[in-house]
Amino acid sequence: MPVLNRINEFHDELVAWRRDLHAHPELAYEERRTAAFVAGKLRAFGVDEVHEGIGGTGVVGVVRAGGSGRSIALRADMDALPISEETGLPWASKTPGRMHACGHDGHTTMLLGAARYLAETRRFDGTVYLIFQPAEEGLAGAKAMLEDGLLDRFPFERVFGLHNWPWTEPGRFGVHGGAVMAASDEFRIRIEGRGCHAAMPHLGRDPILAGSALVQALQSLVARETDPLEALVVSVTCFNAGDAYNVIPRTAELVGTVRCFRPDLRERAEERLRVVARNVAAAFGVEADIAYRRGYPATVNDPELAAVCAEVAAEIVGEEGILRDPPPSMGAEDFAFMLEQRPGAYLWLGQGGAEEGRLLHSPFYDFNDEVLPHGVSYWARLVERLLPAGG
Ligand code: NI
């Protein structure tokens, strides 16, 4: 695998950093040790500027070379998950109930490796912003950094992300020319009925029956209102009501998620969910109180930049290592907030392990250290390609 030689030379150090981070996982916005680790390494590598405390625990390193005004940003995420690790590995989490089960330890390590290479070699012309963000897992650390003035302070023109992918073999990159990950929204529907004796249902208004009808009716948004060639998921994931066998309760609560790629579909799904919930409730003589929260937008690559990323990745793993336009994932990713602001691309870095159960967010997951040089080489070459020295 023709990874950059200089990067292969410090593969052992990359592995050591990755395992250190893995052993010390921290949850969203609590990444204090991790952020200090990152900032310390960046300073040791001699990057030009290190900024901490952006959007909470975010860190930005700045590396400059030459005199051009061009700039790009590379982004990694630093947070772990509230999962108890069961790998039994020597570098397993030392904190009960906390685990790097999504490989953000690997992402942070690869961007650190790139920082070291870029600060040392500086074979580019422009400014590289190395963004280490907090809270990718559900709490929108990318958005927090943007709201904390990320773009004002570090005015990058294009932005790139990388995520390990256990469903793709090591040594391959998945590159999408458009949508990569879905938008993710959350709904809570509180159904207000009238409680009564279970033996005299006609005296009350049963929120459980209304809720059951609603669970089914909501699937019509997918099955009967959406083009079958478009992706939409509506999942009811909690249905809470009642606590006695002989009492019809007063309320029920349904919680769930809506996933899709297209903004117009997202708008329509919310609007239709509200209409269906209100009207099903009306049909059963109960009230529906609907809270709908927009989560992450869809992660959508710029097709031209994605094509450049594919060429750069092919320099490392060969053309046969590029998986073009694999089916996108209905999972979500807060890098989407950065791609809403600036064009760029988010690639999947194959690492294998899915067949052995090392899936993202599983207690048996571990980042595959074998692919660290691929990721670092990709970052390094991407910078040299997009900010060419003497170009
Ligand atoms: Ni992740």
The average pLDDT across 126-134 equals 98
Burial class (CB in 10 A: 0-12, 13-18, 19+), 3: buried
Q: How far is the CA of 78 from the centre of ligand 1 (A)?
A: 9
Q: Which two tokens stand for residue 25?
A: 């996982």
pLDDT band of residue 158 (cuts 50, 70, 90) is very high
pLDDT band of residue 391 (cuts 50, 70, 90) is low
Q: How far is the CA of 110 from the centre of ligand 1 (A)?
A: 14
Q: Which parts of the chain fold into alpha helices (H)?
A: 5-9, 11-23, 32-45, 104-121, 141-147, 150-153, 207-223, 263-283, 303-317, 335-341, 372-386
Closest CA to 38 of 76, 91, 7, 71: 76
Q: How far is the CA of 275 from the centre of ligand 1 (A)?
A: 34
Neighbours of 264 (CB within 10 A): 9
Q: Total structural domains in the chain? A: 2
Q: What is the pLDDT of residues 22-46, one digit of tens each?
A: 999 999 999 999 999 999 999 999 9
Q: What does DSSP assign to residue 245? A: T
Q: What does DSSP assign to residue 390? A: T
* Strand, coil or helix: 285: coil
Same domain, 219 and 349: no
Specify the CATH number for the domain of residue 224: 3.30.70.360
Q: How far is the CA of 81 from the centre of ligand 1 (A)?
A: 9
Residue 284 belongs to some domain of the structure = yes
The average pLDDT across 363-387 equals 97
Q: How far is the CA of 283 from the centre of ligand 1 (A)?
A: 42
Which amino acid type is present at position 262? R
Residue 65 belongs to some domain of the structure = yes
pLDDT band of residue 383 (cuts 50, 70, 90) is very high
Q: How far is the CA of 8 from the centre of ligand 1 (A)?
A: 25
- Considering the chain, what is the average pLDDT of its residues? 97
Burial class (CB in 10 A: 0-12, 13-18, 19+), 149: exposed
Q: What is the pLDDT of residues 314-359, one digit of tens each?
A: 999 999 999 999 999 999 999 999 999 999 999 999 999 999 999 9
pLDDT over 90 for what percent of the chain? 96
Q: What does DSSP assign to residue 197? A: E
| pLDDT greater than 80 at residue 2 | no
Q: What does DSSP assign to residue 202? A: G
Same domain, 168 and 41: yes
Residue 282 belongs to some domain of the structure = yes
| pLDDT greater than 60 at residue 263 | yes
Range of the domain at 245: 183-294
Last residue of a domain, one of 294, 328, 356: 294
Residue 156 belongs to some domain of the structure = yes
Q: How far is the CA of 355 from the centre of ligand 1 (A)?
A: 19
Same domain, 24 and 155: yes
Q: How far is the CA of 104 from the centre of ligand 1 (A)?
A: 6
pLDDT band of residue 6 (cuts 50, 70, 90) is confident
Specify whether the CB–CB gap between 22 and 100 falls below 8 A.
yes
Q: How far is the CA of 303 from the centre of ligand 1 (A)?
A: 22
Neighbours of 283 (CB within 10 A): 12
Q: Which two tokens stand for residue 182?
A: 């879905």
The average pLDDT across 226-237 equals 96
Buried b / exposed e over 329-344, threshold 16 CB at 10 Å, is bbebbbbbbbbeebbb
Q: How far is the CA of 103 from the centre of ligand 1 (A)?
A: 6
Residue 248 belongs to some domain of the structure = yes
The alpha carbon of 304 is separated from its chain's Cα centroid by a whole number of angstroms, namely: 22
What interhelical angle do 104-121 and 11-23 show, nearest 10? 140
Same domain, 141 and 117: yes
Q: How far is the CA of 107 from the centre of ligand 1 (A)?
A: 9
Same domain, 45 and 115: yes
Specify the CATH number for the domain of residue 77: 3.40.630.10
Give the CA-trace dihedral at 29, 32, 35, 37, to 10 degrees.
-150
Same domain, 264 and 320: no
pLDDT over 70 for what percent of the chain? 99
Same domain, 155 and 254: no
Same domain, 177 and 187: no
Specify whether the CB–CB gap between 114 and 74 falls below 8 A.
yes
Q: How far is the CA of 252 from the centre of ligand 1 (A)?
A: 33
pLDDT band of residue 7 (cuts 50, 70, 90) is confident
Closest CA to 321 of 348, 302, 303: 348
Q: How far is the CA of 302 from the centre of ligand 1 (A)?
A: 21
| pLDDT greater than 70 at residue 257 | yes
| pLDDT greater than 90 at residue 5 | no
Specify whether the CB–CB gap between 129 and 71 falls below 8 A.
yes
Same domain, 236 and 148: no
Q: How far is the CA of 232 from the centre of ligand 1 (A)?
A: 21
How far is residue 138 from each of residues 80, 196, 273, measured CA to CA in Å?
11, 39, 22
Distance CA 193, CA 236 (A): 20
pLDDT band of residue 379 (cuts 50, 70, 90) is very high
Q: What is the pLDDT of residues 279-319, one digit of tens each?
A: 999 999 999 999 999 999 999 999 999 999 999 999 999 99
pLDDT of residue 3: 74
Q: How far is the CA of 140 from the centre of ligand 1 (A)?
A: 12
Higher-confidence residue of 4 and 285: namely 285
Residue 391 belongs to some domain of the structure = no
Q: What is the pLDDT of residues 110-123, one digit of tens each?
A: 999 999 999 999 99
| pLDDT greater than 90 at residue 182 | yes
Q: How far is the CA of 113 from the centre of ligand 1 (A)?
A: 19
Q: How far is the CA of 75 from the centre of ligand 1 (A)?
A: 12
Q: How far is the CA of 163 from the centre of ligand 1 (A)?
A: 7
Closest CA to 99 of 79, 85, 109: 85
Q: What is the pLDDT of residues 66-78, one digit of tens each?
A: 999 999 999 999 9
Same domain, 290 and 309: no
Same domain, 203 and 352: no
Same domain, 276 and 347: no
Q: How far is the CA of 305 from the centre of ligand 1 (A)?
A: 22
Last residue of a domain, one of 267, 294, 321: 294
Closest CA to 157 of 54, 263, 302: 302
Last residue of a domain, one of 275, 294, 313: 294
